[in-house]
Chains A and B, each alone.
Chain A
Amino acid sequence: MKKKGMIGMMETFMIIFVIFILIGFGMYFFYKFSVSSTITEAQETCELSSYEKLLATLDLPGLQCSFKASPKDCVDTAKLRAFIDTKAAENVGTQACTMKIVFKQIYPQPGIRVNDTECTPDKMRSPEFPESCGKWTLKVPKEELTKNKAARVSSTPVSLYYPHIKQYGIGQLEITTYTYT
C-alpha cells in the first residue's frame, strides 16, 4: 500500500516536472519572439527617424543659408564648418539610434585624392577650394557604438553655398544609421 502510494506520488511529480519543462520551453520561445519583434520595431523606428533627421538637418538654423536674416534653401558651408566646431554639433542626432551625418561635395568635384578629406577652415581658405576637400562630418559615432551593427545609408541632394568665394555647389547629405543585424 505504501509502495503504491510512493509510485503514485512519483508519477504526479514526474507529470508536474514535464509540465514545468513544457512551460519553460514555451516561455523561452515567447521571450525570443518578443525580443526579436522589439528589435525589429526599434530598427524600423531608427530608420524612420533617419529620414526625419534628413529633413530636419537641412533646416537647422545653424546650417541653413540666410540673406539679410531671411532663410534660403541651401546649406551655408561656412556656418556648417562653424557649427561642427561648436559643442552643439554633439547634440545633433536622435536618442533612439546611432547615426553618422556627413555632407559630401559632389560638384565641383573634389580631386580623387581629396574626396575623403575633411573641409577644415584651412582647406576652405585655400585657393584651390572647393576642389581641395570633399566632406564635412557633422556627427560621427564612437566606434564601440557601431561594432557588430549593420549600417544603412539614406541620402538627399543639397545645394551648398560657399560665402567666402560667393559660389554655389552641389552636395549630398548622407545619414548612416547603425542597427543590430
Chain B
Amino acid sequence: MEPVFKYIFALIVGIMFIIFFIGFAYNYIGTEENKMSLLLTKSFDDQLNILSIAQDSVMNYDFGAETALSFNQGALRSGSQNSRKTDNIVYSPVNLKGKELIIWTKKWDMPYAVTNFFYMTNKNYKYVLIYDRTSKDFVDLISDPKEEIPEVFKVVTYDADKLREQFNDVRSSYSSFTKVKFIYFSEQPSNSLVNSLENINNAEVISIIPGDDSWQFGTIDFQADKEAMYIGQPMLLGAIFVDDYSNYLFNLEKKALPKLKEITEVYINKASFMSSALQCQEYGLINTQLQYLYNLNEESEPEEFVKTANNLENINKEHFGSECPGVF
C-alpha cells in the first residue's frame, strides 16, 4: 500500500507544480503582450505627434513585422489589448493589418491653422474616385499627386458613364482587396449607379455633394440615410479614407469642431488683449467674427463655417497693418 500511496502523492504534487508553472507562464506571456502592445501604440501615437508638426507630409510607416492596428472613434489599439486615446484626428479603415502603413498629413485651416488631419491606409484597400461632368475638374485636381492625394495611395478615377459600361471588369479586378471604396463626386449622384456599386461584396459607396462650385463645403452621403457635412477640402479628403459614418461623425463632432473652438477661443482672447493694449477698433471687428465662428456647432450649416472663415481672412488681411498687427 505504501509505495502506491507515494506514487499517488508524487503524481498530485507533480500535477500541482505543472499547473502552477503553466499558469505562471501564461500570465507572464499575457503581461508581456499587453506591455508590448501598449509600447507599440504609444510609439505609433508619438510618431503621429511628430508628424503633426509637418505640413502635407507623406510617409510609409514600416512596423518590421505583420502588425494589426485599429483606429476606432479616437482610440488606437493593437491586438486585443487595452486601447490608447489619441488626440490626433485620424481618417482610416478601422482595422489595418500588415507590415506597412501609408500615412499622409494635411493641415486644416479655418482660415488659421487649426490642426493636422491624418489619412492612413495600406495596400489592402482601394479607393476609386468617380466623376461626372459636374465634378471632373475637381476630381482631376484632387487625384493629381502634385496637387493633393499622394501617388502612394494609388487612387484611381473613373467617369461615371464609363464605369457603368465596364462595371463587371471593375468588379472582378478589385475583388482581391479587403475593401474597395467608391467615392462618387457629383452635384446629383445617380441612384442606379450607387445601387449597382453597393451590390459588390467588398464595396462601400459614398457620394460627395458640393455646396457650391468651389467644393469647399458640402455634404457626404454615406447611404442608408446617413449624411454629414464637410468643411474645407482636408475634411472632404477625410471622407475618402475614413471607414464608416460613425468614425467620420466622431472626428467631426468630437475632434475637429472642438479643436476649432479651442483655437478660436485663443484668437478671441488675443484680439481682446491686443484691443486693450493698442486701442485699435479693428480688433472689435474681428472679434465679432471670431465670436460668431466660436458659436457655430455641428447643427450649423457648413456654408456658415466657410463664409465666416473667409470673412475673417479678409478682415485680417485688409484691416490690419503696421500700427495694429493682425490677429493671425
- Kindly state the interface size class of chain A when it binds its partner: 35 or more
Q: How far is the CB of B111 from chain A (nearest CB, A)?
A: 5
Given A5-B2, A62-B262, also A82-B273 (CB < 8 A): yes
CB pair A95 B50 closer than 8 Å? no
In whole angstroms, how far apart are the Cα atoms of A166 and B277 in the complex? Answer: 12
- B95-115 near A? 1/0 per residue, CB < 8 Å: 000000000000001011111
Interface residues of B, count at CB 8 A? 43
CB pair B266 A62 closer than 8 Å? yes
In whole angstroms, how far apart are the Cα atoms of A124 and B274 in the complex? Answer: 10
CB pair A16 B13 closer than 8 Å? yes
- A161-181 near B? 1/0 per residue, CB < 8 Å: 001101000000000000000
* Interface positions of B from 277 to 328, Cβ below 8 Å from A: 277-278, 313, 316-317, 322, 325-326, 328
Given A67-B326, A79-B266, also A95-B49 (CB < 8 A): no
CB pair B262 A95 closer than 8 Å? no
Is B53 part of the binding interface, using a Cβ–Cβ cutoff of 8 Å? Answer: yes
Give the chain A neighbours of B328 by CB distance below 8 A. Answer: 66, 69
CB pair B49 A56 closer than 8 Å? yes
Is B87 part of the binding interface, using a Cβ–Cβ cutoff of 8 Å? Answer: yes
Is B52 part of the binding interface, using a Cβ–Cβ cutoff of 8 Å? Answer: yes
CB pair B266 A96 closer than 8 Å? no
In whole angstroms, how far apart are the Cα atoms of A49 and B48 in the complex? Answer: 12
Chain A residue nearest to B51 (CB atoms) is: A56
Q: How far is the CB of B179 from chain A (nearest CB, A)?
A: 31
CB pair A68 B317 closer than 8 Å? yes
CB pair A45 B326 closer than 8 Å? no
CB pair B325 A82 closer than 8 Å? no
- B256-276 near A? 1/0 per residue, CB < 8 Å: 000000110111111001101
Among B84, B266, B316, the residue within 8 A (CB) of A69 is B316
Give the chain A neighbours of B39 by CB distance below 8 A. Answer: 41, 45
Work out how many contacts link A and B, with CB atoms closer than 8 A: 99
Give the chain A neighbours of B24 by CB distance below 8 A. Answer: 27
Is A112 part of the binding interface, using a Cβ–Cβ cutoff of 8 Å? Answer: no
In whole angstroms, how far apart are the Cα atoms of A164 and B273 in the complex? Answer: 9
Chain A interface SS verdict (over half): helix
Give the chain B neighbours of A81 by CB distance below 8 A. Answer: 269, 273
Give the chain B neighbours of A41 by CB distance below 8 A. Answer: 35, 39
CB pair A61 B113 closer than 8 Å? yes
In whole angstroms, how far apart are the Cα atoms of A71 and B278 in the complex? Answer: 23
CB pair A125 B277 closer than 8 Å? yes
CB pair B46 A49 closer than 8 Å? yes
Given A83-B266, A166-B325, also A124-B53 (CB < 8 A): no
Is A148 part of the binding interface, using a Cβ–Cβ cutoff of 8 Å? Answer: no
CB pair B273 A121 closer than 8 Å? yes
Among A27, A67, A124, the residue within 8 A (CB) of B277 is A124
In whole angstroms, how far apart are the Cα atoms of A24 and B35 in the complex? Answer: 24
In whole angstroms, how far apart are the Cα atoms of A81 and B20 in the complex? Answer: 59
Chain A residue nearest to B277 (CB atoms) is: A164
B-side residues, CB < 8 A to A, are 2, 6, 9, 13, 20, 24, 35, 39, 42, 46, 49-50, 52-53, 84-85, 87, 109, 111-115, 262-263, 265-270, 273-274, 276-278, 313, 316-317, 322, 325-326, 328
- Top-9 shortest CB links A-B: A82-B269, A164-B277, A88-B262, A61-B113, A59-B53, A82-B270, A62-B266, A82-B266, A163-B325
Further 4 A-B residue pairs, CB within 8 A, beyond A61-B112, A62-B262, A163-B270:
A12-B6, A55-B53, A124-B277, A125-B277
| Contact sample, A vs B, 13 pairs, CB 8 Å cutoff | A38-B35, A49-B46, A52-B46, A55-B50, A56-B49, A59-B52, A61-B263, A62-B266, A66-B112, A69-B111, A82-B273, A86-B269, A121-B276
